[in-house]
Structure formats: structure tokens, C-alpha cells
Amino acid sequence: MSALNRTISINKSPSFSRRTLPLGSPRPNHNRSGCVFLRFQVLVIIVSVISFFVAVGGGYIYVLPSLSRAFFNAQVLLSQDNNNNGSVRECDVFDGTWVQVKDQDHTLYNATDCPFVERGFDCLGNGRSDRDYLGWRWKPRSCEIPRFDVRAVLEMLRSKRVVFVGDSMSRTQWESLICMLMAGVEDKKGVYEVNRNQITKRIRFLGVRFSAFNFTVEFFRSVFLVQQGPMPRHAPRRVKSTLLLDKLDDISDQWVNSDILVFNTGHWWVPSKLFDMGCYFQVGRSLKLGMSIPAAFRIALETWTSWVERAIDKNRTRIFFRTFEPSHWSDLTRRICNVTQYPTLETNGTDQSLFSDTILEVVKNVHIPINVLHVTSMSAFRSDAHVGNWSDNPSIQDCSHWCLPGVPDMWNEIILSQLFHESEIPSQQIESLSKFSYLLNNSNTLSLLPGNLWLTYAW
């Protein structure tokens, strides 16, 4: 029997209603006084319950002031996911098409105002007049990618370490994420490069700290992922240096103990960056002068996967490997760059890459979960989004790198949507919290719930 029912039964007990009264005294109205007393007790119980939840909610507001918004935003992400054809987790997010958005002014940041964008990637700031390339969003065929919510993401990344490793394409994505996140930070001075360095391609390490949320977003320049070695003794004259395919980059020990690791490689695995520069392959002490680039690339990836299985804590670190994103040069000499106004309807074979295929084949045999960002096909249509002539050096065309804001923002949105799904609590708990939230929020009494603490289940 509930406490409320026990109170009611006591008030109506025979011993209470039939007690002896003095002779000649007027008979009191027991029904009326009992009813008043009952109502008073019920009111006390209701006020006590409300006070309890207000106290608990107030405590959470005081201790975790921004968690309420994070809870709401994360719930929106989950509800958007459930209301579409399928969830991001269940569908192939890379099987889709670019769709034009109604609001072309939906960019997540202004590159000119973001101090972490290299001037060479700020196309609008460098004189590009058309903004059509900003009006497109990737739409998977069987699901929706939730819209980026900066406050929810900042809360998700609180006290985390995000690390990008790779070439200049990785650095572009790193810059993109920082600027996306800065849009939600009130004190911009609290976001700074840890060594007070200017953003440049010449520095091997760059790290930006978000002091208000106690996390860093870091970049390590490692264009091959494996070590580069000097010319071996007794090597032919044409050999100036080597790639040590069986040894991961000597800075790899700095990549561990991170919460999110995003890798890429591929753009330097070309004859002009290797053989033409006198760089050949080496395994152990053996110089492999006749080894092809695809064969060497596979060995390097296998070295990387062995390091992942040996050095990475799979219970802490989420690993992403982005596949090769195609360039859009008009000829093989990479001297003619024709940036289109709109995405192309045909890819002309650029949606296929031997590097991407190799990544997919090697990664599937790894015992630690690795999320492959298979961006090759989706990026193949975006000949409109390259830097072109709108860099800090207009005399040099660029059909390899991307304008910011632009395509790399979408890659980051995909990563973040997957991380949100990995951090969600079981669906039954979400459903119960949603019902509890609805009942209390519609009672015009409470607006903040202890259920907001569900984000503490995140990794």
C-alpha cells in the first residue's frame, strides 16, 4: 500500500471517527475536518516531491550548467535519427548524393574570422565571388546525418583529446573542426595554439586547446605514416633516402593516449614525391628498388595496423581512417585546374582509388574497431569546392586542397554523428527519460530533470 493510501485509511479509521465526546458538547463535523486534514497531507506530500526535484535539479544546474542543453541537443540528434529511414549506424552514410540546401547561408563558420584557417584555404577571403559551392549537403540514401550542434559537441568532447595524423589534407580537416567548434565558444581567447605557433604546413605538431571545455584538437604531420630514413650504405646513386615500410613514424608514441584518432595518407604516395626525389622503399635492411608504390603502400598500412593493435587502448580510443579524396586537375601535369561552379554529375573514374581499396582490405582484418571514412566517392563530385585560383598565391592553381568552409566540414559532421551514436545509452533508458521529461515539462512545474545526466554514460 502506498504512503498516500495509508494516510487516507488512517484518517477514515473507525477508532478515530467514533471516539468518546463529553456529554452535552456539540458533535463536531468529522467528515469535514478529516477531509481538510487529508487535503493538507496530500498537499504536503506534493510540495515535498516538487521540492526534492527542484533541489536536485538546482544542484545539477549549479554543478553542470551546460549539461541541460547538451542533453536536449543529443536527444534531438537521436530523434532525428529515429524519424528517418534508418540510423547512421545502420546505413552506409557514404552511399548517397549531394543535395542543394534551401538556406545557402548555412555555413558553420567564417574562415576569415577563424584564426586557425590557413589563408590559402580561405577562398572567400581571397576573392572568390560565387558562394554556390557552400550550398550543398551530403545526403545518404537510407538515413540522415544529424545537423551539427556545436554546444552538444563541445560537451561531448569535454576533457577529451582529439588527434589528426596525416598530410595537408588532414591538416585541412583539423582546421575545419577547430573553426566549427569555435563558433560555440563565447571566450575566443580561451582557444589557442598550445605553443603559440602560427598555423603553417612546416610545423610537424600543432595543438589547439579549448580551455573552457578542457580538451585539445591536435595535428601531427606524417605524410607517409611510416619512417623516412637516410640513404643506406652502398646504395645506388639514384637513392637519396628511403621509406622504412616496417617502422611506423618515430613520433607515433605521441599519438597514443588520445580519445579520437583520425588518420589519412595517400597524396604523397606518387612517383613525383618518391622516385623523382630519389626516395625508395626499404624493409628491414633490404632495399626494395623494384617494389611498386601499391605494394609498398600495403606494407606500410600493415605496419600501421600492427601498431594499432599493439599500442592503442580500444576501450578508450576511437580510430578513424579517411580514404583517399580525389583531386580534379584537368590534365596529368597538374597545371590546369578547372574549378566548376556546381558539383559535377559524373565522376569520370575519380570515385575509384587503389589506395582506398587497399585501406578497406587491410583494415577489415584488424581486431580493434576502425571506422573507415570512405570519402572517395562523395568527394569525387565536388570539383566546385577546390581552392583553384583563390589561394594566398593566385599564380599557383590548386585542384587538390579544399576551400574552408567546405567539403571537410561534412567529413567532420560524419565523424561526430558516429561518435554521438557510440556514446548513447540503451534505447530503453532513452525512452523512459523522454517520457519522464515530457510528463514533468508539461506539468508547468519543473523544467530541468535529473535525466539530463545521461551524458555521463558517454565514453
Is the Cβ–Cβ distance between 77 and 416 less than 8 Å?
A: no
In this predicted structure, what is the pLDDT of residue 39? Answer: 64
Quick check: 440 pLDDT over 60?
A: no
In this predicted structure, what is the pLDDT of residue 51? Answer: 65
Find all residues with CB under 8 Å of 202, minimum gap 6, and list them.
none
Closest by Cα among 269, 292, 281 to 244: 281
> CA–CA distance from 145 to each of 96, 401, 437 (Å)?
11, 24, 25
Query: How much is the pTM?
Result: 0.75
Quick check: 61 pLDDT over 50?
A: no
Q: Which of 69-83, 159-173, 304-318, 319-333 is least confident?
A: 69-83
Region 52-64: mean pLDDT is 49
Is the Cβ–Cβ distance between 384 and 341 less than 8 Å?
A: yes
> CA–CA distance from 406 to each of 71, 197, 198, 410, 423 (Å)?
28, 24, 22, 7, 27
In this predicted structure, what is the pLDDT of residue 196? Answer: 92
Give the position of cell 559535377: 344
Q: Which of 268-282 are b and which e, b meaning 16 or more Cβ less than 10 Å from the residue's Cβ? A: bbeeeebeeeebbbb
- Taking the C-alpha atoms of residue 230 and residue 244, their distance in angstroms, rounded to an integer, is 10
